[in-house]
Amino acid sequence: MLVGLYGGTFDPIHSGHLHAAQAAREELNLSSVHLILSARPGHRSAPAGDTAHRWQMLQLACSASPGLIADDSELQRSGLSYTIDTLIEWTRVHPDALPCWIMGQDAFATLPSWHRWLELMQWCNIVVLRRPGDERVEPEAVQLLCQSHEVDNMDTQKIGQVYRVHRPMLEISATDIRERLKKAEPVKNLLADPVYSYIRQHHLYEYSEKAI
Ligand code: ATP
pLDDT reading at 44 higher than 70: no
Domain boundaries defined on the chain: 2-170
- In the chain, which ranges are continuous DSSP H helix? 15-28, 51-63, 83-93, 105-109, 140-149, 174-182, 193-201
Q: Decide yes or no: CATH 3.40.50.620 for domain 2-170.
A: yes
pLDDT at 136: 80
* Single-letter residue type at 63: S
10 lines ligand 1 (CB under 6 A): yes
8 lines ligand 1 (CB under 6 A): yes
Closest Cα to atom 21, ligand 1: which residue? 104
Smallest CA-to-CA distance from 61 within 197, 184, 175, 176 is with 197
Measured from the CA of 14, which atom of ligand 1 is nearest? 6
13 lines ligand 1 (CB under 6 A): no
Beta carbons within 8 Å of 139's beta carbon, 6+ residues apart: 109, 112
Q: How many CB atoms lie within 10 A of CB 106?
A: 13
Cα–Cα distance measured from residue 207 to residue 81, given in angstroms and rounded to the nearest whole number: 29
Smallest CA-to-CA distance from 154 within 124, 119, 120 is with 124
pLDDT at 5: 98
End-to-end alpha carbon distance in the chain:
49
Backbone angles phi, psi at 41, to 5 degrees: -60, 135
Mean pLDDT of the chain: 92
Measured from the CA of 176, which atom of ligand 1 is nearest? 2
pLDDT at 113: 95
pLDDT reading at 148 higher than 80: yes
Closest Cα to atom 30, ligand 1: which residue? 104
Query: 154-201, pLDDT tens digit by residue?
Result: 999 999 999 999 999 999 999 999 999 999 999 999 999 999 999 999
Cα–Cα distance measured from residue 125 to residue 192, given in angstroms and rounded to the nearest whole number: 28
Query: 74-126, pLDDT tens digit by residue?
Result: 998 888 889 999 999 999 999 999 999 999 999 999 999 999 999 999 999 99
178 lines ligand 1 (CB under 6 A): no
Number of continuous H segments (helices) and E segments (strands) in the chain: 7, 6
